[in-house]
Structure 1
């Protein structure tokens, strides 16, 4: 196994996406990372990147995304954005963790093997605990159990292996609570009866969010590019409208009140915002805005965006509880506070005339700054 740390920036034309780590104009100001480490294990086919954005509040914790990126450049861009988001997520959630993320490049259905996961576990262990991994797109608790055979720096394992299991349900709960807070702020009541919610992505989080929405009386439309996920939704929730039956795979242009992106990020850009018919955007996907100025585009159309790293913090809170040995009651109480946090962000936005993204960033940055002063 070979490891390369702190890769230097590569000069590229300004009209192309940067390929390096440093001075990235496509990332928000002040997003410099503490450490970015590359790993390759030729014997197993492992190609991975771990990005540690900040350890100011604690060890950098974030999931490992196993995904068939088109290029190493795309993988690097994703891990840099995701890890920064984890720093802000942990800060706003009030847990003592920093922000990190990892990506494994490749199709998990084609190359994921126990030996590859073991090699990845050794890679994580070589970082000495500065990064703690968990599950994400393409990885699950069974995978984490294998990784845990090589390193102690892993959470989200199965309960039989001493973990707390899949964090999807708790992530979905946090999104649901955030969504209700947004609905109350926008329409004066958190009643979801008759509200039409478009859930994009029917995976670990989207599936559980659908169940919560239906129980609350919402009408739900679901889209997913993976047909078996839609088949499962149709079988388990007969009242759900399958988006492909009426609008194809694109749910953004559907007649919906709330758009809940729960798949991959960057679905909101100038083009999609122009087609969006919802009044609220609140979902579990990370980095939903292609660029930060997209929130202004949404606001210009009267659409409220709940910052993704606030809404989707439930899973992080769960695995933080696993890491610290907290009981389920403590974990659930902390997840319950997400609704209050979202309501507080709305209050700041109204009082100061700023967007919710700026209000959330301020909460995160104030907590990080206070920790740095201490």
Structure 2
């Protein structure tokens, strides 16, 4: 079989994988629906200039599985799904392209609900929303850009990790290496700075680095060296797979807690981190603030903020259970998510 089929290494029993094309709009998209036992699949759409279709499919499969576990750990009644658009957001984006994608989402009849991810903006979501009601993060759904809530959840997760390792969540005098200064990373840096942390920042965008250095009195490093910085926390907030067999021996911080998806290149990397005494905040737990905002778009702001801050408590439970069991935090998080999914099976009479 072709590796783009059922034997693809990232295929994990996905319920549906859709390849969508609209020649007139120049749309090439992959929509992956991993699991709908808890409800319709909810997950953002990423626009990225993938070099080939297989890399786009790989990302969609991995990210959609992560959304299943993220939504389960966040206590949301939604399954996991993700979409990717193969295009360069800096030069290929158009209203026609966004509307064409919206039509592909609409054709799924509510099985998948989309939202904003890397490469898209609130304006793009409005264009998508003109073609489908199965979208979040638009003016019709009351809240736009979910990134501030993602950043808030990561901030609370960092506090939880510090509390577990050092006995106090206080950030004053702590050093955090923030890798990636997009919407989430920059907002996270602001939270950390306001709490008294010392920041080391990095990004492939030099303008973003300059802004952070000026705004937060931060020190800058090459993004390729961000994980090696001697710090209390390494916060990866860029793309995934940055924690791997090469980088793990080079880590300069005892805590990894950031917003990037799929931070572990291989599942075994979670065990390696635990064996080295490095506390890892599982990515799909700590970065769930954005999807919580999308899912609970109709609640009051103070209620939503309390929900997002609850990420810290969820991580505390994972850290403590991992310590007692002598297991990797990533494994514990997976098991808790799977317990909720199994409970949904039992409730629905499925085995």
Within a 5 Å distance, the mapping from 1:165-176 to structure 2 comes to 165-176=144-155
Equivalent residues of 2:232, 2:253 under 8 A apart: yes
Q: CA deviation at 1:92?
A: 0.5
Residue among 307, 317, 323 paired with 1:344: 317
Q: Which residue of 2 aligns with 1:13?
A: none
Deviation digits for residues 38-95 of structure 1 (CA, Å, limit 9, x no counterpart): 0111112110000000111111010100001121111110110000000000000001
Q: Which residue of 1 aligns with 2:59?
A: 78
Q: 1:40 & 1:239 partners in 2: Cα distance?
A: 46
Q: TM-score, normalised by structure 2?
A: 0.96
Deviation digits for residues 86-121 of structure 1 (CA, Å, limit 9, x no counterpart): 000000000111000000011111110111111111
1:331 partnered with 2:304? yes
Q: 2:207 & 2:20 partners in 1: Cα distance?
A: 32
Within a 5 Å distance, the mapping from 1:147-166 to structure 2 comes to 147-157=128-138, 159=139, 161-166=140-145
Structure 1: give runs of 5+ residues left out of the alignment: 1-8, 11-18
How many residues align? The count is: 347
Residue among 15, 22, 34 paired with 2:15: 34
Q: 2:133 & 2:5 partners in 1: Cα distance?
A: 28
Q: 1:185 & 1:241 partners in 2: Cα distance?
A: 27
Equivalent residues of 1:279, 1:303 under 8 A apart: yes
Q: Which residue of 2 aligns with 1:15?
A: none
Q: Which residue of 1 aligns with 2:30?
A: 49
Within a 5 Å distance, the mapping from 1:138-287 to structure 2 comes to 138-157=119-138, 159=139, 161-235=140-214, 237-244=215-222, 249-287=224-262
Give secondary structure in 2 for the equivalent of 1:284. Answer: coil
Q: Which residue of 1 aligns with 2:343?
A: 370
Structure 2: give runs of 5+ residues left out of the alignment: none
Against the structure 1 CA distance between its residues 64 and 172, is the aligned structure 2 distance closer, same or farther, given a 3 Å change threshold? Answer: same
Q: CA deviation at 1:26?
A: 5.0
Q: 1:162 & 1:357 partners in 2: Cα distance?
A: 33
Post-superposition, which runs of at least 4 consecutive aligned residues in structure 1 deviate over 4 A? none
Q: TM-score, normalised by structure 1?
A: 0.90
Q: 1:40 & 1:330 partners in 2: Cα distance?
A: 40
Q: Which residue of 1 aligns with 2:81?
A: 100
Q: 2:5 & 2:109 partners in 1: Cα distance?
A: 22
Q: 1:297 & 1:365 partners in 2: Cα distance?
A: 22
Q: CA deviation at 1:358?
A: 1.2
Q: 1:359 & 1:192 partners in 2: Cα distance?
A: 26
Q: 2:115 & 2:191 partners in 1: Cα distance?
A: 24
Q: CA deviation at 1:227?
A: 2.1
Q: CA deviation at 1:302?
A: 1.6
